[in-house]
Structure 1
Amino acid sequence: MEKPSGIFDRDYEWSQLTRFVQYHGGEATLGVVSGRRRQGKTFLLDAVCRAADGFYFAATEATEAEALRQFGTAMAHHLGEPVPRRFERWDEAIQALMLIASDRPVPVVIDEFPYLVKASPELPSLIQRALGPQGQRAGSPIRLLLCGSALSFMGSLLAGTAPLRGRASLELVVPTLDFRLAREFWELDDPSLALLVHAVVGGTPAYRREFTLGDVPRDRADFGPWVIRNVLNSGSPLFREGRSLLSEEPELRDVALYHGVLSAVAGGNHTRGGIANYLGKKSTDLGHALTMLEDVGLICREADAFHGKRSAYRITEPIVSFYHAIMRPEWTDLERPGSAAQVWERSQATFCSQVLGPHFEHLARLWTRWYADVSTLGGRRTRVASGVLPDPANRTGHEIDVVAFSRMDDGREKILAIGEAKSGDVVGRAHLDRLERTRALLMDRDERATPETRLLLFSVAGFMPQLEEIARAREDVQLVDLERLYGGS
């Protein structure tokens, strides 16, 4: 099946769906597709059904009886039957569904599957029974795809002792576009503008057209006005998106606590102790909240590069970080028409320190993990992290934004490179001197570091001529500006 021209990228996802749908076996098969809302899952699956003449059903929040009526109507429409089918129970509907294909594989998509299960909890068990040996022999070669945006629920469908465990032939997660693809999708030639936009809305495709009506900032000077008219504008869908993503997760019930945790992280409190102190709670009281936010994909926990038992929490959705750092503290003023420009003007320091800076550090790690080549790092990296290096002599700790590891033939780890990312400063010799002192301290405290450990300096504003001259003469010093971040290795 040829991917429709209207689908941007998603080549991998399309190839996996094509492979699943075109499997030539005569038995019914199951696939599970998940991902956060606004990533284009529905667009992708609808395109698959159109290309292969499949059956697509989008569930709604409804009672069981109403959902069955909607399902029967959609099935009759797909089969060209003049009268809607009537089902009293889901076992009847599933039995009919299993016979929808005859002499060829037919994709069948049930979108927003969690809505159906909420009203009919037995549905996964009924599908499991239909996919069992007896059901497959009596059925037809349908390619059943269950899709949903509730990540914790979709992840549990195939986990542990769940009825559908071991039944799926496809488990596909549709991610957000990475920062390079997002720049291409937004059609932004200026990498500095691409960075600013990505720091606010990330790589969610729907924010490009549906949520902004195709409004793209013309240049750096238009970035602020673009934020005001699209994100801080109470009449725009993006205005409430940062908090809507939380309310859309059915597993998250204590919304106030979850918002508090996200505000703590957005404010620079990345450890469990720091979050607890921000909220005035004990760290032991936050275990469930942190786990739930991880399960639904709103935060992630990243292990410290130098201390395996320590970790830092990071918000995964830029629009959520922006909401909690910039909008939530100013919500009263933002709801008043005409105040957005003033809020944005007085929030510049916060935006740079709590949104843009941490985001640039994250992109520096992504670049090192996925785009930096062997000649840049001096070896093949196996993982990339950040960490705090203790300095007992000076009673302090040194935050290292990027730490790249490799694994030697004997299985031991080696630190290939350490790096520092600056979103505001023009980076010069003083930054290199500091990174060299950090490397020396690291060599004293960690046998994985060597004199060959490379020094990476990332900058939004660029580099001083003296530092560029040093980098040209020294292989262990690598400078990464925005042009290299977005297009080089």
Structure 2
Amino acid sequence: MRKPSDMFDRDFEWAELTRFATHRAPHATLGVVSGRRRQGKTYLLDALTRATGGFMFTATEAAEREALDRLGEDLAHHLGEPVPLRFDGWHQAITRLLHTTDREPRTVVLDEFPYLARSSPALPSIIQRALDPGNRSAAGPVRLLLCGSALSFMGGLLSGNAPLRGRAGLELVVPTLDFRLAARFWEIDDPRTAVLTHAVVGGTPAYRREFSRDDTPEGPDDFDPWVVRTVLNPARPLFREARYLLAEEPDLRDPALYHSVLGAIADGHPSRGGIANRLGRKSTDLAHPLGVLEDVGLIGREPDAFRRNRSTYRITEPLITFHHAVMRPAWGELERPGRGARVWERLRPAFRSKVVGPHFEALCREWTRWYASPETCGGHPSRVAAGTVNDPAARITREVDVAAFGRDGEDREKLLAIGEAKWNEPLGLGHLERLEHIRELLRARGDVRAGETRLFCFGGAGFTDDLRRRAEGNPEVQLIDPHRLHHGD
């Protein structure tokens, strides 16, 4: 089945959906599609139903009776019935949906499924009974797809003792576009501008099309004006999007607390202890809010590369980081029209240090894990993380922005490479010597196999001539700039 010509990428997702929709099994089958908001799930499923002649119902927040009435109206229109269908309950509605075809496979999509399940908690169990082997033989070959953006809820549909556990033939997560795909999607040729743009809006497709009306930075000189006219413009949807993302999550019942936790992380306090100190709370008090934010996909917990009992938290949605680090401290001023340029001039240093710097480090780890070749790394990376290394002689802790681990011929873990990432500061011999010192510390520890560890220098602003001369023809030292991040290995 040919993918729509205006659909960017999503080749894997389209192939899996069409394979599921056209499967020739004579009975009804179930699939689950999830992913964070604004990633194009509805667009994908709408294209699929159009291509297969299927039916798609997009739910809203409504009581059960209203939801059933709307479903009856939409399904009657789809089937060409002269009057709306009347369902007395979800048992009857699901039975009718599973009988919309007798012979050929037909796609039926229930979009925003969490809305339906919240007003009708028994709905997953009703679907489970309808799909039981003893019942599904009476239904036609319907391909029922449940879709939603509430990640914790959608993830729980098929886990543990959930009613639908073991019933799904498809469990598809639609991800955000990674930084390389995002640069192509935004049609940004300059790699440095691509990194800056990704640090603000990430890889969410809707932020270019619907939210920015295809307004993209035309180059390095247009980035600052683009931020002012789109993200910092109170008349544009991106201005309030970060706040809406939290408001749309049903599990976040104390918005003020969750905003404070996110603000602490964005302000450079990524550990649980640092967050607790910033909020004036005990560290144990944060277990629940951190767990909820992690469950809904707004933060991720990243273990230290060299100290497994230590971890930090990172916000997974760049726009939320940008909001808390740049916009939230000046929110009252930004809400007044025409103040964006003045605020941006004042807060640009915070953007560079609190947003772009950490974001560039994360992109460097992503490049090392997924794009760096085995020839570059001296092996195939199986784990990449940031870490800290104790320096007993100096009585300080050394930070490592990138640590890549792989396996040797005897399946033992070894340290392939360590790296340092700087966005605005050209890297020189001093940075390389710091990496060499850290490598010697790791070799001396004995618990990390670092005998052949390579040294990666990630320079957002380039490299000094003496560092380039040291790296020339030396595979042990790798120089990676924004162009290589986007186009090299």
| TM-score normalised per structure 1 | 0.99
Distance across 2 between alignment mates of 1:392 and 1:279: 32
Query: Quick check: 1:26–1:140 contact (8 Å CA) kept in 2?
Result: yes
Q: Quote how far apart the aligned CAs of 1:393 are.
A: 2.1
Question: Aligned to 1:182, what secondary structure does the other structure show?
Answer: helix
Distance across 1 between alignment mates of 2:356 and 2:79: 52
1:462 partner amino acid: G
Query: Quick check: 1:427–1:462 contact (8 Å CA) kept in 2?
Result: yes
Question: Aligned to 1:417, what secondary structure does the other structure show?
Answer: strand
Q: Quote how far apart the aligned CAs of 1:88 are.
A: 1.5
Distance across 2 between alignment mates of 1:88 and 1:105: 26
Query: Quick check: 1:27–1:142 contact (8 Å CA) kept in 2?
Result: yes
Question: Aligned to 2:91, what secondary structure does the other structure show?
Answer: helix
Question: Aligned to 2:472, what secondary structure does the other structure show?
Answer: helix
Gaps of 5+ in 1: none
Distance across 2 between alignment mates of 1:481 and 1:173: 31
Query: Quick check: 2:199–2:355 contact (8 Å CA) kept in 1?
Result: yes
Question: Aligned to 2:400, what secondary structure does the other structure show?
Answer: strand
2:110 partner amino acid: I
Distance across 2 between alignment mates of 1:30 and 1:481: 45
Distance across 1 between alignment mates of 2:158 and 2:432: 49
Question: Aligned to 1:461, what secondary structure does the other structure show?
Answer: coil
Distance across 2 between alignment mates of 1:452 and 1:122: 58
1:51 aligns with 2:51: yes
What are the within-5 Å matches in structure 2 for residues 314-393 of structure 1? 314-393=314-393
1:467 partner amino acid: L
Q: Quote how far apart the aligned CAs of 1:64 are.
A: 0.9
Alignment deviations for residues 200-238 of structure 1 (CA, whole Å, 9 cap, x no partner): 000000001100111111111111111111111111110
1:216 aligns with 2:216: yes
Q: Quote how far apart the aligned CAs of 1:429 are.
A: 1.2
Question: Aligned to 1:235, what secondary structure does the other structure show?
Answer: coil
1:242 is matched with which residue?
Answer: 242
1:292 aligns with 2:308: no
Distance across 2 between alignment mates of 1:268 and 1:392: 25
1:395 partner amino acid: R
Question: Aligned to 1:416, what secondary structure does the other structure show?
Answer: strand
Distance across 1 between alignment mates of 2:243 and 2:438: 39
2:225 is matched with which residue?
Answer: 225
Distance across 2 between alignment mates of 1:281 and 1:448: 36
1:146 is matched with which residue?
Answer: 146
Q: Among all aligned residue pairs of Structure 1 and Structure 2, give the percentage whose two residues are the same amino acid.
A: 61
Q: Quote how far apart the aligned CAs of 1:339 are.
A: 1.3
Distance across 1 between alignment mates of 2:29 and 2:102: 14
2:131 partner amino acid: L
Question: Aligned to 1:289, what secondary structure does the other structure show?
Answer: helix
Distance across 2 between alignment mates of 1:83 and 1:450: 73
Q: Quote how far apart the aligned CAs of 1:93 are.
A: 0.6
Q: Quote how far apart the aligned CAs of 1:62 are.
A: 1.0
Distance across 2 between alignment mates of 1:147 and 1:197: 29
Question: Which has the larger displacement, 406-415 or 286-295?
Answer: 406-415
Q: Quote how far apart the aligned CAs of 1:244 are.
A: 1.0
Question: Which has the larger displacement, 60-69 or 407-416?
Answer: 407-416
Distance across 2 between alignment mates of 1:418 and 1:228: 37
What are the within-5 Å matches in structure 2 for residues 137-176 of structure 1? 137-176=137-176
Distance across 1 between alignment mates of 2:443 and 2:242: 42
1:299 partner amino acid: I
1:70 is matched with which residue?
Answer: 70
2:30 partner amino acid: L
Q: Quote how far apart the aligned CAs of 1:450 are.
A: 2.9
Query: Quick check: 1:377–1:416 contact (8 Å CA) kept in 2?
Result: yes
2:405 is matched with which residue?
Answer: 405
Question: Aligned to 1:329, what secondary structure does the other structure show?
Answer: helix
Question: Aligned to 1:192, what secondary structure does the other structure show?
Answer: helix
Distance across 2 between alignment mates of 1:367 and 1:253: 36
Distance across 1 between alignment mates of 2:146 and 2:359: 33
| TM-score normalised per structure 2 | 0.99
Query: Quick check: 2:413–2:449 contact (8 Å CA) kept in 1?
Result: no
Query: Quick check: 1:439–1:449 contact (8 Å CA) kept in 2?
Result: no
What are the within-5 Å matches in structure 2 for residues 446-457 of structure 1? 446-457=446-457
CA RMSD of aligned residues (A): 0.9
Q: Quote how far apart the aligned CAs of 1:449 are.
A: 3.6
Distance across 1 between alignment mates of 2:321 and 2:31: 32
1:304 aligns with 2:286: no
1:375 partner amino acid: E
What are the within-5 Å matches in structure 2 for residues 196-207 of structure 1? 196-207=196-207
Distance across 1 between alignment mates of 2:133 and 2:447: 56
1:474 partner amino acid: N
Distance across 2 between alignment mates of 1:395 and 1:471: 30
Alignment deviations for residues 163-183 of structure 1 (CA, whole Å, 9 cap, x no partner): 111101100000000000000
Alignment deviations for residues 138-157 of structure 1 (CA, whole Å, 9 cap, x no partner): 11100000000111111111
* Large movers: runs of 4+ above 6 Å: none
Question: Aligned to 2:137, what secondary structure does the other structure show?
Answer: helix
2:99 is matched with which residue?
Answer: 99
1:31 is matched with which residue?
Answer: 31
1:440 is matched with which residue?
Answer: 440
Distance across 2 between alignment mates of 1:99 and 1:18: 20
Q: Quote how far apart the aligned CAs of 1:412 are.
A: 2.1
Distance across 2 between alignment mates of 1:239 and 1:135: 50
Q: Quote how far apart the aligned CAs of 1:135 are.
A: 1.8
Query: Quick check: 2:418–2:453 contact (8 Å CA) kept in 1?
Result: yes
Distance across 1 between alignment mates of 2:56 and 2:338: 44
Q: Quote how far apart the aligned CAs of 1:134 are.
A: 2.1
Q: Name the CA shift for 1:363/1:36 in 2 (closer, same or farther; >3 Å).
A: same
1:394 partner amino acid: A
Query: Quick check: 1:31–1:170 contact (8 Å CA) kept in 2?
Result: yes
Alignment deviations for residues 90-126 of structure 1 (CA, whole Å, 9 cap, x no partner): 1111111111111111010000001111111111110
Alignment deviations for residues 356-385 of structure 1 (CA, whole Å, 9 cap, x no partner): 000000000000000000110111111101
2:385 partner amino acid: A
1:118 is matched with which residue?
Answer: 118
Query: Quick check: 1:111–1:146 contact (8 Å CA) kept in 2?
Result: yes
